[in-house]
Chain A
């Protein structure tokens, strides 16, 4: 079955630390990839997406993600986190053949001021 794995369920960082959240998916065909963010008390918002082209995509608020097809990975990065980045982050994949968005279980990020 198609699935998305996020390796870290909880991450705690100090401000200015670098961030990398792992995401791997299990599907051999073409996929569209997404990272969504959910700030406390708010709804899911799109952070960035990859459909095709340059595998390094840049999103809002200084986030970026790199699609490595050979590793079935789409890791999220930010060089210097801020307290306001405290949120839950979800990786999601759409296998192009199915049009179904499949979410990972999420990573809760806490940034200490």
Chain B
């Protein structure tokens, strides 16, 4: 079974520039998450999709971050404009089903963003 794919793996930009990350979930997984993992911390949820609808974006800094999941498959996360504190690893995770209160999430390799 193919895993969660993310690209690019690494990105270096200057502050105030824009950047976009892409995620391709495991086939058939309806639920998709984006997390931000700052060095030395655990991943923090940014946004959750169920198919192509947003379930939870309460922790997404909407003034600069946006995400979409067109057609309920691939997803993109965008930062515009980037700040120094956005330097982190951005993780995509997918879940087959929310049955039982939330099952096992499968994580992609992440995109390491450095903002200079």
| Size bracket, chain B contacts | 20 to 34
Assign chain A's interface to a size class: 20 to 34
- Given A44-B91, A96-B101, A106-B42: A101 and B108 within 8 A (CB)? no
Residue A18 CB within 8 A of the other chain:
no
For the complex, is B56 an interface residue (Cβ under 8 Å from A)? Answer: yes
List the B residue with the shortest CB-CB distance to A49.
Answer: B104
Residue pairs across A and B with CB atoms within 8 Å: the count is: 60
Alpha-carbon gap, A58 to B55, bound state (A): 32
A92 to B40, CA, bound (A): 15
Q: A100-B45, A101-B45, A105-B41 are in contact. Are A46 and B104 (CB under 8 A)?
A: yes
Min C-beta distance of B84 to chain A, whole Å: 21
Partner of A96, one of B33, B45, B102, B108: B102
